[in-house]
Amino acid sequence: MEQRITETLKILTEADKEACETVKVTEDELSINKKKLFIESYGCQMNFSDSEIVASVMRGAGFATTSSVQDADLIFLNTCAIRDNAEQKVRNRLVHLNALKKKKPGLMIGVLGCMAERLKARLLEEEKMVDIVTGPDAYRDLPRLVEEAGTGQKAVNVYLSREETYADIAPIRLNSNGITAFISIMRGCDNMCSFCVVPYTRGRERSRDNVSIVKEAQGLFADGYREVTLLGQNVDSYKYRASETTEPVTFAQLLAEVAAIHPDLRVRFSTSHPKDITDEVLYTMKKYDNICKYIHLPAQSGSSRILELMNRTYDREWYIQKIDRIRAILGEDCGISHDMITGFCTETEEDHQDTLSLMEYARYDYGYMFAYSERPGTPAARKLTDDVPHEIKMRRLNEVIATQQRLSLERNQRMVGKIHKVLVEGVSKRSEEHFHGRNDQNKVVIFPRENYQMGDYVHVLVTECTAATLIGHTVEEVVVA
């Protein structure tokens, strides 16, 4: 029997790294006669994508990235504000960096991103070692802010723009495997969910022009990348109009343009909003084999009453209809994942049971699950009472996680005995003798390395599985599940 190799299950608990608390740091660049920049990025893929823009901007100002915080002349913490835990983690990190700054007086520290936008000048007052505070729409201004901070002044720019998309800035790919990359297609959010700080930290929604997106994807493919993920807070509301006299480009049209670059360029996207995803998008996914059959469709709750309090603008029945359309157009094997919040304001046991029953109906492949964390300044914090006791939130969260673990295993068991087209992304975390990659449904697949290379497409016959991983061996057949 093959050695059993498994990867981390994409389910988040208090004991695990939440998605918003994932941390990535910059890698070493050649830095002859250049100052060294260290970026530590927290949070979602949008933040990691923004750090690639920041690195590009600062390269033009004479900086090269480093993986060593001790070697840095400039440290940026690109922050997340979606949960209190994420903010506390950044504050604790600043305390540790203060000791480094005392040993290296010329060192400058900047706080970027959503936490910077939310707390603004308070960061300069409360965290005395912070020199620069910059919001997500002000990264072009960083060279000037760094220069200003170098004179001993505190430098702040948290202006939120209605136009900035950074479309003309070529990102520096950080932490890249050279195979998969993210492309930001829009910024901000107009949805105003009552629990969410994003509209206040990233501003109003605006779409990047489709020509620059396609050009970036073409460049990545030419450089050897074989998969791109189109990123936005709500990709389904993407709409770019070149002028008042032209028809807007929709997300479905953008998807088709990127997919048409080359059949060997896989296309993924995240995140979809249940109120906006259309049949046109689903039929476009069906038309192109290289658009992965996987949709991240956050529900947040299975209770219509709670969804209304969350201002999600859809109810349980609407969400179920979207699940039904996905299954009808893309088939039962289409991967679907979710976000779910337990213990939102006034949530009852009946509401909780509605969430569990929705999960059973949707048959999710995996999910990102959280206990509700009130964020200052949101409509929920202003108008609702966070009245569900912590222990009840956690008990409900554990029940949601247990349900998802069972569903994940059942969904993966459907894949056993089938052949899957897998893009080789790297060496397995558990064994140098195995590669890992993902199939069409975004599932991690482990298989022996043999003579394959990163970036190859291989066909894997899945012979066993866990709740997190598909395990198998390569075959010559080209019939794909």
Give the H or E element holding residue 380: helix 379-383
User: Torsion-angle region of residue 115: left (phi > 0), alpha (psi -120 to 50) or beta?
Assistant: alpha
Residue 322: what pLDDT?
98
Q: Which residues, given as ranges, of the chain have pLDDT below 70? A: 1-22, 30-32, 127, 477-481
Q: Which of 417, 416, 403, 393 has its CA nearest to residue 362?
A: 403
Residue 46: what pLDDT?
86
Residue 134 lies in a domain: yes
* Residue 44 counted as an annotated binding residue: yes
User: Are residues 331 and 188 both part of a single domain?
Assistant: yes
Query: For the chain, first and last CA: distance in Å?
Result: 23
Return the DSSP state at 237: G
The dihedral over CA atoms of 314, 369, 22, 385, expressed in degrees to the nearest 10, equals 70
Residue 169 lies in a domain: no
Quick one: CA dihedral 251, 217, 197, 138, positive or negative? negative
User: Are residues 146 and 184 both part of a single domain?
Assistant: no
User: Are residues 290 and 408 both part of a single domain?
Assistant: yes
* Residue 196 counted as an annotated binding residue: yes
d(CA 414, CA 160): 46
User: Are residues 319 and 254 both part of a single domain?
Assistant: yes
Residue 12: what pLDDT?
31
Angle at 424 between CA 423 and CA 425, to 5 degrees: 105
Residue 465: what pLDDT?
98
User: Are residues 262 and 197 both part of a single domain?
Assistant: yes
Enumerate long-range contacts of 212-215, CB under 8 Å, 24 or more apart. 212/167, 212/168, 213/167, 213/183, 213/185, 213/254, 213/257, 213/258, 214/257, 214/258, 214/261
**Which residue in the block uniquely carries the two structure tokens 């007052």?**
125
* Residue 292 counted as an annotated binding residue: no
DSSP strand E in 179-324: where? 180-184, 186-187, 206-207, 227-231, 239-240, 249-250, 266-270, 294-296
β-bridge partners, 42: 23
Q: At 467, which CATH number? A: 2.40.50.140
* Residue 80 counted as an annotated binding residue: yes
Residue 4: what pLDDT?
36
Query: Any idea how long the chain is?
Result: 481
Residue 91: what pLDDT?
85
DSSP strand E in 174-213: where? 180-184, 186-187, 206-207
Residue 11: what pLDDT?
35
User: Are residues 140 and 226 both part of a single domain?
Assistant: no
User: Are residues 88 and 193 both part of a single domain?
Assistant: no
Which backbone phi and psi does 86 adopt, to 5 degrees? -65, -40
Number of domains the chain contains: 3
Q: How far is CA 286 from CA 255, 256, 282, 291, 311, in A?
A: 11, 11, 6, 8, 31
User: Are residues 255 and 367 both part of a single domain?
Assistant: yes
* Residue 20 counted as an annotated binding residue: no
Q: Centre a 10 Å sphere on the Cβ of residue 48 and count the other Cβ atoms it contains.
A: 19
Residue range 4-63, pLDDT digits in tens: 333 333 333 333 334 344 677 777 776 667 899 999 988 788 888 999 999 999 999 999
Could you tell me the pTM of the whole model?
A: 0.88
Residue 132 DSSP SS3? strand
Residue 129: what pLDDT?
79
Q: Which residue, 157, 189, 220, sits at the end of a domain?
A: 157
User: Are residues 369 and 337 both part of a single domain?
Assistant: yes
User: Are residues 443 and 464 both part of a single domain?
Assistant: yes
Which residues, including other chains, have CB under 8 Å from residue 115's CB and lie 6 or more apart? 79, 80, 81, 86, 87, 90, 123, 201
Residue 299 lies in a domain: yes
Residue 432 structural domain: 419-474
Cβ-contact 117, 202 below 8 angstroms? yes
User: What's the number of CA atoms in the CB half-sphere (13 Å) around residue 350?
Assistant: 4
Q: At 106, which CATH number? A: 3.40.50.12160
Q: At 235, which CATH number? A: 3.80.30.20
Return the DSSP state at 71: G
User: Are residues 385 and 432 both part of a single domain?
Assistant: no
Residue 125: what pLDDT?
75
Residue 11 lies in a domain: no
Residue 4 lies in a domain: no
Residue 14 lies in a domain: no
User: Are residues 55 and 151 both part of a single domain?
Assistant: yes
Residue 71 lies in a domain: yes
Residue 403 lies in a domain: yes
d(CA 473, CA 463): 8
| DSSP line for 381-438 | HHHS---S-HHHHHHHHHHHHHHHHHHHHHHHHTTTT-EEEEEEEEE-SS-TTEEEEE
Quick one: CA dihedral 380, 386, 390, 394, positive or negative? negative
Residue 311 DSSP SS3? coil
Residue 32: what pLDDT?
67
